[in-house]
Amino acid sequence: MSRHVAIVTDSTAYLPPGAMERHGITAVPLTVVLGDQALEEGTEISTRSLAQALQKRRPVTTSRPSPEEFAAVYREVAASGASGIVSLHLSAELSGTYDAAVLAARQAPVPVRVVDTQMVAMALGFCALEAAATAEAGGTMDEAVAAAEKRASTTSAYFYVDTLDYLRRGGRIGTAQALLGSALAVKPLLQLAGGRIELLEKVRTASKAIARLEEIAVERAGSGEVDIAVHHLAAPERAAVLGERLRERLPGLGEMHVSEVGAVIGAHTGPGLLGVVVSPR
């Protein structure tokens, strides 16, 4: 049984199909609570079901994995031959997932390094892939952590939502910011900054907001090598168009992933979400 550094992340990384299997990455699922049902992201609830529930204004909340769930995964990964585990997770400002992983790491049968990437979605996913590539090349736990942290430090995430109501209800954005957007009838552009969701710009219409999102992504990418992810919720046409526009405009484009976010992030943003992750290599 070969000894290796294993990479664990969580279900909000939204890695491309097949990427986890190719790189041996394990994702611990978060949970969406729909009415009185607790459903695991990725296996028990579809984004279509989530979008329908949100549109009908059914109560939707989310829940972190328990420390016991993390402990079980760490044991399983160790049993598969891992000599150490690097566990990379969405921002601790947005979820208690990181804290649960830290608690579980203390009881793991092999050393575990838990990292708050301050990211989410493919901003987290690119960090996990970077760590996995380092581990596959024979890197140590410290080297895999350093690679992920370096990738996180250069990665940016920007997104548009049709309304700030979902973020306000979930406590992911300040009430004052949400009310300001509603009062002025503007379309908000947001960013991840310091692991928090912050209002970046206010634009008058959805079409102008999406055009501005494209410009911000192009400016941030520059002319160097860069990987891009375009995310959406119940807005596949918007995402496809934005993806094609960025393909045309980015000379240093490496990987491009266009995908729908999962139910956990969707529960906090609502249908109409359009996001761009810019991750220089």
Using an 8 Å Cβ cutoff, are 12 and 41 in contact? yes
Using an 8 Å Cβ cutoff, are 243 and 88 in contact? no
Classify 267 as helix, strand or coil. Answer: helix
Domains of the chain, CATH where assigned = 4-30+65-153 (3.40.50.10170), 156-280 (3.30.1180.10)
Per-residue pLDDT, averaged over 241-269, amounts to 94
Least Cα distance to 129 among 262, 255, 274, 261 occurs for 255
- Cα–Cα distance for residue pair 211/107, rounded to 1 Å: 49
At residue 175, does pLDDT exceed 90? no
Indicate the range of 12-16, 191-195, 214-218, 265-269 predicted with least confidence: 265-269
DSSP 9-68: EEGGG-PPTTHHHHHTEEEEPPEEEETTEEEEBTTTB-HHHHHHHHHTT--EEEEPPPHH
Q: What six digits make up the tokens of 86?
A: 């690097």
Whole-model pTM: value is: 0.92
